[in-house]
Amino acid sequence: MSETYRFPDAFRWGCATSAYQIEGSPLADGAGPSIWERFVHTPGMMHNGDTGDVACDHYRRFRDDVRLMRELGLTSYRFSIAWGRILPQGTGRINQQGLDFYRSLIDALLEHGIVPMATLFHWDLPEALDDRGGWLNRDVADWFAEYAGVCFDALDDRVPLWVTLNEPWVVTDGGYLHGAVAPGHRSPYETVIASHNLMRAHGAAVQAYRARGQHEIGLVVNLEPKYAASDSAADREATRRADAYMNRQYLDPAMKGHYPEEMPRIFGDAWREWPATDLEQICQPLDFLGINYYTRGLTRQDPDAWPLYASTVRQSQSTYTETGWEVFEQGLTDILVWVRERYGDIPLYVTENGAAFYDPPTVNTGGVQDPLRIDYLGRHLRAIHHAISSGVDVRGYYLWSLLDNLEWSLGFSKRFGIVHVDYATQERTPKDSARFYSNVIASHGEALTAGAGKTPEPQRADPS
């Protein structure tokens, strides 16, 4: 059956970025350092010793970047606010120059008819707060609500879409369990506490927004549907644990007011039972959920993979991106359908989706041909359309990412952008995928009808 991929007229077409990955000038105009400032300048933590000192120099070039967004036809843009630019010590004194930067960025977006979506926390916790325990200190919920309130007071008149946290799972799995991202700790005991405090902070920020905000606020999670690699009881049980750990650990408390029943088994004596009042604070009504989707997890039991005892199986016939993630667009349809079935009919945005692939150099060609990225985007956009056709209320898509940027501890070695950045000159060159995306936007998705890639059939993620 052929399908026409026309998206709703009000569908928002965007790109996503985050402050530390693109801005550069992290200490400019009175900003306080973040834990990423400390992490990147600690020898051995970053690929190739890369840092965000300059990154894409977006802090100084944002007007050109916004013009570029307009040229591409974006109707929305998801960016993050660096906490330390607003409150250099994390709490207390407000740095007006930091607010002015984001106000200018937002004004430039609005002048070009681009709807801003602002994320309050995309991993760059102020160093001063980390020195007070960071996400391990229960007071962090109040600190975050204070910072969020400053942003709401200054910018809510211009920002219709707010996000509290980006991907609490990565903050805790990467930052507190495996140490691959800042602050680089490795403790299951800390992981449990950091996760809980992140969610308390999320709830406190939503409460602060309800007291004064005029628009919409939501949470962004990264979801990976987990499918059992075999029918064996061990693999199915491992799949349930993996799903609880990555997908339900954050959404269940935020949307249902309790943690998944698997959590004590996953964390053993590191797990804690939390007061009911904490869960009441975490479970606040939200206006939307943001789903970041990159890949699925084909899961098997693995006695060596502490603490989950589950790992992901590679598929010999699949395509893998440069970050080692299987291209599996059907997982996006499945996870959108799953969110609706499990958490109800809340508006959804796909707040990140994209791929790092090797892009040939631009020298002498004047452009960048990136057919694998075009294929990836086409497949995933069709997968979203399929979910919409199945009744899921998806309101927009934010491609990761507008620009090649600092891929956290992998530095500049992985390029996710639809716009190539020459880091020596800061020259921006739209890749073929940027033109592809522009055509999709201009045609409300109809350009997808003719393109390559198969249409996924909805299928339930296994087993929850």
Nearest residue to 32 (alpha-carbon basis) of 90, 97, 76: 90
Helical spans, DSSP H, in 127-275 = 127-130, 140-155, 168-172, 188-212, 233-243, 249-256, 263-267
User: Can you tell me the distance from the alpha carbon of 23 to that of 21, in angstroms, rounded to the nearest whole number?
Assistant: 6
Q: Does residue 167 carry a catalytic annotation?
A: yes
Q: Which lies closer to ligand BGC via its Cβ, residue 174 or residue 260?
A: 174
Give the three-class secondary structure for 394.
Answer: strand
Catalytic residue of the set 224, 237, 262, 352 = 352
For residues 34 and 54, give the distance between their C-alpha atoms in angstroms, rounded to a whole number.
15
- Could you tell me which of 107, 101, 54 has the C-alpha nearest to residue 77? 107
Instruction: Please count the other Cβ atoms lying within 10 Å of the Cβ belonging to residue 34.
Output: 28
User: Shortest gap between Cβ of 273 and ligand BGC (angstroms)?
Assistant: 29
Question: Tokens standing for 37?
Answer: 């400032």
Smallest gap, in angstroms, from Cβ of residue 321 to ligand BGC?
Answer: 10
In angstroms, rounded to a whole number, what is the distance separating the alpha carbons of residues 189 and 129?
Answer: 19
Interacting residues toward ligand BGC by CB under 6 A = 18, 21, 166-167, 170, 222, 292, 352, 400, 407, 416
Instruction: Estimate the crossing angle of helix 58-72 against helix 432-442, to 10 degrees.
Output: 50
Distance CA 382, CA 336 (A): 13
Rg of the chain (C-alpha set):
21
**47-57 as b/e: b if 16+ CB within 10 A:** eeebbbebbbb
CB 292 within 8 A of CB 353: yes
Q: How far is CA 452 from its chain centroid?
A: 27
Active-site residue (options: 167, 190, 237, 262): 167
Nearer to ligand BGC, 21 or 333 (CB): 21
Is 111 considered catalytic here? Answer: no
Q: Is 162 or 400 the residue whose CB approaches ligand BGC more closely? A: 400
Closest distance between ligand BGC and the C-beta of residue 166, in Å? 5
Which residues are known catalytic residues?
167, 352
